Chains A and B, each alone.
Chain A
Amino acid sequence: MEDNRKQERKVKVKTLMKVYHFFWKYRRIDSIIAPLYYILENFSPAVSTLILAGFFQEVYWVLGEEMRSYSRLVTYGAGFIVYLIVKQFLQLIASISTNAGIFEKTLYILNEMLSEKASKLPLITYENAEIMNKKEKAEECVHNDRIPSIFMLSVVLATSVLGTGTLIITLGSYHGFLAVIAIVSVAQFYAATYFQEKKKYQISQELTKEKRQRDYLWSLFTDEKSIKEMRIMGFADYLADQWKKARDKINRKFWKEESFAHRNMMYCEFIRIAGYILGISFCFLLLLADRIEAGVFGAVLTAFVNVQAVIKNHVTSIGRIPVFLEYAKDYFDFIELPEEQEGTVNIGEKIQKISLEKVFFRYPNAEDFTLHDIDLEIHEGETIAVVGENGSGKTTLTKVLLGIYGAIGGTVAINDIPINSIDKKDLYKKIAYLSQDYMIYKMSLTENVVLADLPENAAEDIKRIVSKMGLDDIAGSCGDISQIYFGKEFGGIELSGGQAQRLAVARAIYKAGNLVILDEPTSAIDPIQEAEILSQIMNMVKGRTAILISHRMSICTKVDKIIVMKEGAILEIGTHEELIKKNGEYMRLFKAQSCWYES
């Protein structure tokens, strides 16, 4: 128990150090300006108290005795004005530096680091719920400005030591007891905030599932797809009820906590006021005992209130920091996840041979193997079709073969070089891959095809390919195809499913490469165009190594070799004729589809 707490404290200190390190590294100037300002600002109450006390003293004397010089009065008055101007000026600089430099820019940087990290993680981690959960928490931390808040809170705290000290000493110089009352009467705020924030964090952890559910349910009411279904089939009311239930459950818990917190804060304030009354009474006693002068009375009271206010502020932030650090830890945990290992060996000009030997693969947290004892060799220039039922491991096979997912057993090699030691960037330059979840980027048409800065003279090439894909109605809508943008939300064109897939095929054809892998390239394209696009694809793969995955068995009649997969294993390999003759799994799959077209 004790060890645990020690450990926890150690982790928190470490996280705090990481926060400082971050600011020192990325926002050095702002992270100097902010503390500087706060050091100065902490003197502000003391300075204003001193100036005004002096001013009032002077006034008191001036009014008492006729014959005093006024020069000191003017000095104090001018001092007060200068004080206000300087304060305003410093505040301006600090506000710019804090708002823009510490908060906003940091948000940008944190987001950038987050997405950079996310893009460098091995793709397999995206199958891991635990890590995705970490990412969600990291995003929440950024979204709620936790890291800059920690920095600012702690800066204010650290820099205030001196200022607060001055303030306390000022008050103490009138009488030590006053300082003691002022401090003690606000100490309870620390405990109140600490437990309050801790409870909030706990509740928000406890209710993660409910919150997700609530937000998810709400999103259904704004999503075109689900709106359509719920209206047609009439279950909008049911979902609305579910949402209300989830919402009320969360709100009840939070509100209960909130009113509890309010009440606690009120009790804390009562204690503070009791201290204040005590302070006033004590001042009166001092006044009666002639220990302080009547002119100073107001200043003493002001000082007392100031000390109370400042200390209250500080203890409240001290109470907040530990919980904020928990959020920050979530962020740094994600940022420090191990990144993908990059190999260095160059595979040479061409992909001549891909070989898989006794390859097994299993997704994280899954019980069954997705790939089971795969032995396969693919040679340069071969066109291969991979067929099989849903979930038989076709897509996974291509991902393992390219080293996107690491095999668990066995070896994957390209040109006899093990996949792990290959320079992947170089390898991926040589391949064209079309995923079944094809992507259309909300960028320009040319960017979508090239996915890089547009090379010179490429526009014509792109135009030709796009037109071959039957996308003339889109490419023709504007003279300069680099000015055609996609994505309704950015004022661009919205593509239909079929058009989007054809554009994705165009991307693969443009890149072509040494090895072409197309995963379900025509699933959303209508029949007449499908035939046209399939023949374009077959044209393109001539003379290249190609792997085609398709549910459309028709494609199999055109390839050199067919791989039939079932439950993660290769069941049959051969040409269309051989496999039909064999009358096995392939025959069944083929018949299942072609029988519908027999006349």
Chain B
Amino acid sequence: MLSVVELLTQITKYSNLYMEQRLKAELYCGFSDKLLEKYVSVEFSCFEEEHSRNIIHHVGSAPQESLLEYFMTFFSLVADFIEIFGYVIVFFSLSPLFGLLGTGCLGILLCLNFKRVEMMAKLYDEQTDDERKMLYLDKLLCTKSALLDLKLNDAIDFVHHKREALSQVIWKERLLRTLQSQFVYASGYMSMVLWIGLVVIYVIYEITHGKLSYGVVVALISAVQSIYGCSECLANDFASVLKSGVNIRYLEKFMELPEVKKVEKAGNGEAMDRQGCLQFHNVSFRYPDDPKEVLKDVSFSIEPFQKVALVGENGSGKTTIVKLICGLYQPAQGRITLNDIDICELPAQYSAKIYGAAFQDFSRYQFSVRHNVALSSVERMENDSEVFQAMEQAQASDLQKIIDKPFGMIEEDGINLSGGQWQKLALARAYFKKGQLLILDEPTASMDPRAESELYASFLKMMRSHTCIVVSHRLAIAKQCDQIIVLDKGQIVQKGSHDELISERGLYQEMFHAQSQWYHEKDG
């Protein structure tokens, strides 16, 4: 009998493991697909806003693990309960008082355990900030650019001390709280031990009065031992259910983040096949939860094939306009139309074809040069001549010989590029798209003069077949555009061609003068 039970236990144990693995497989594929889908459709502003960024940070890359843990421990918790319940029944049948006492002690154990977990969870919650700060300092001490700066400023020790001070604080608090919580936990166990003591006394008492048989004594004592062992499992499972529950709450919050509105009907598509006029109709914009208007009543119109420059100081709203054009933000008021169709009402498969864009904070994709160029239009990725053409236009022809070499972040002997080269690839990516709108947000900040100059020349060529919108601090590029829109504090203050604006003697003229005087002072 015993061996059959043992055998069955093992078989169930392993079939359980097998089930868990199947479940894991399902969950890891199906669930992470869902998660990714959510990531792709969460509103863009959530990634910029602190609160939702925090949620995203907490969800991490493998929330399925805590989900699985929650699921599995929940079941084993139920199993523990049933098992314990079985043993407790034995005592109930012996004497209801014992059963009640036992249940009470178990209750105390669980309550105190709950308190322990809560104490620790609260501590972790309080300390995350400090801990993240410490991790940040750790990271500073392992990063090339930071180390260079710190070394030359003789500040490495400063950061070390700061780190050490933080670590001391965290550690002291944690040790103290661990001690406290362990004692809480232990006192829960003492109530169990107390109960076991009562049982032993009872057994001895009954034996002396000859009321118990040998078999019952053995059964009782082993039941006591089992309950004791079981309560340990119960406490542990209980604790981990509570812990993974916290993570799951974050997951829940994440799944509730607002999503980008999906446009189903495909009727508006045809109009997108020809170059259209882009118009802002009294557009205002403000970030959610922020009463300050970033854009105030902005109206302008960009004709097909026109070249337009957006200029203005830092924070004047240039980038916000770009993000609105690209549909990353929704205007608070007013409409943005392309060919008289509201861009919010474009079905995704059409809007994806419209834009070619390069930003100042472009992304450096660690795949290969080819990927970096062709990601904007993946179906043409293998078309060498088009890829090369885009690279030529972006002055990145020198990278053609390493077009398929992987980058160093993924492969050890991979290549790495300089900041300027990366920027050229970002530009090539925008060019390769061949969409009807070409958007360049600060495209030349880290380029050398020659590359910058050649880039402008090729850029002008490109413009012939595209509507083009450029944001730049370098007014040289604005000079070449058909229309310049000058922004100040979220409003359009000037509009017109370079010559018109220079003669207007406004903000633009002031800016242009400030920049060019550095070249002319000595000449003149």
| Contact call A116/B160, Cβ cutoff below 8 A | yes
CB closest residue in chain B, given A229: B363
Asked if B264 is at the interface of the complex by the 8 Å CB criterion, the answer is no
Smallest CB–CB gap between B486 and chain A, Å?
12
In the complex, A184 has a CB within 8 A of chain B = no
**Contacting pair B204 A551 (CB below 8 A):** no
Chain A residues lying within 8 Å of B383, measured Cβ to Cβ, are none
Contact call B32/A228, Cβ cutoff below 8 A: no
Q: Which residue of B lies closest to A262 (CB)?
A: B17
B519's partner among A60, A104, A453, A594 (CB-CB below 8 A) is A594
The answer to whether B376 and A235 touch across the interface, beta carbons within 8 angstroms, is yes
Given A216-B409, A453-B158, A531-B518, answer yes or no on A266-B10 (Cβ-Cβ < 8 Å): yes
The stretch that binds A, out of B66-74, B136-144, B294-302, is B136-144
Q: Would you call B514 and A593 a contact (CB within 8 A)? A: no
Interface segment among A144-152, A251-259, A475-483: the answer is A251-259
Which of B95-103, B193-201, B282-290, B333-341 lies at the binding interface? B193-201
- Give bound CA distance, A270 to B39, whole Å: 46
User: Within 8 Å of chain A (Cβ to Cβ): is B267?
Assistant: no
Cβ–Cβ < 8 Å partners of A441 in chain B: 140
Do A223 and B363 touch (CB < 8 A)?
yes
Q: Is the CB of A84 within 8 A of B193?
A: yes
> Does A429 count as interface, using CB distance less than 8 angstroms?
yes
User: When the two chains form their complex, are residues B200 and A77 in contact, meaning their CB atoms are under 8 A apart?
Assistant: yes
Whether A111 sits at the interface, judged by CB under 8 Å, is: yes
- Tell me which of A232, A437, A489, A534 contacts B328 (CB under 8 A): A232
The range of chain B's interface size is: 35 or more
Within B116-143, the residues touching A (CB, 8 Å) are: 129, 132-133, 136-138, 140-142
* Binary per-residue interface labels of chain B (462-482) against chain A in the complex, 1 for a CB within 8 Å, 0 otherwise: 000000000001111101000
| Complex: A223 Cα to B154 Cα, angstroms | 32
Interface size class of A (residues with CB under 8 A): 35 or more
Q: How many A-B residue pairs have CB under 8 A?
A: 383
Which of A390, A496, A590, A594 is in CB contact (< 8 Å) with B418?
A390
Chain A residues near B403 (CB-CB < 8 A): none
Q: Are B207's CB and A63's CB within 8 A?
A: yes
A553 touches B151 (CB 8 A): no
CA distance A437 to B422 in the complex (A): 14
Contact with A along B409-448 (1 / 0, CB 8 A): 1111110001111000000011001010001000001111
Chain A residues in 8 Å Cβ range of B270: none
Among B6, B14, B149, B419, the one with the most A-chain Cβ atoms within 10 Å of its Cβ is B149
Q: A433-B153, A496-B314, A597-B476 are in contact. Are A224 and B142 (CB under 8 A)?
A: no
Residues of A contacting B129 in the complex (Cβ-Cβ under 8 angstroms): 490-491
Q: What residues of chain A lie closer than 8 Å to B201, measured between beta carbons?
A: 77
Question: Complex Cα distance A531/B512, Å?
Answer: 11
Is B385 an interface residue when CB atoms closer than 8 A count as contact? no
- State whether A526 touches B3 (Cβ < 8 A): no
- Among B132, B160, B356, B365, residue most surrounded by chain A Cβ atoms (within 10 Å): B365
| B152–A428 touching, CB < 8 Å | yes
Known A119-B142, A225-B362; contact A74-B204, beta-carbon cutoff 8 A: yes
Known A114-B142, A528-B514, A534-B518; judge A233-B352 contact (CB<8 A). Answer: yes
Query: B2, A119: Cβ atoms under 8 Å?
Result: no
- What's the nearest-Cβ distance from chain A to residue B53, in Å? 8
- The reply to whether A251 and B29 contact each other, CB–CB distance below 8 Å, is yes
Give the CA-CA distance A215 to B60 in the complex, in Å: 11
Find chain A residues with CB under 8 A from B314 CB. 496-499, 525-526, 529
- Please, how many angstroms separate the alpha-carbon atoms of A228 and B50 in the complex? 17
Chain B positions within 8 Å of A523 at CB level: 445-446
In order of increasing CB-CB distance, the 7 nearest A-B pairs are A234-B352, A554-B518, A596-B476, A597-B516, A390-B420, A451-B155, A592-B453
CB atoms of B148 and A123 under 8 A apart: yes
Segment of A272-280, A323-331, A352-360 engaged in the interface with chain B: A272-280
Query: Distance in Å from the Cβ of B57 to the closest Cβ of chain A?
Result: 8
Does A27 belong to the interface (CB within 8 Å)? no
Return 15 A-B CB contacts under 8 Å, by A number.
A52-B221, A63-B214, A77-B204, A81-B197, A84-B196, A92-B182, A112-B164, A212-B409, A224-B47, A229-B363, A229-B375, A234-B353, A443-B162, A528-B510, A593-B453
Specify which chain B residues have a CB less than 8 angstroms from the CB of A598 in the assembled complex.
516
CB pair B448 A388 closer than 8 Å = yes
> Which of A112, A129, A404, A433 touches B412 (beta carbons < 8 Å)?
A129
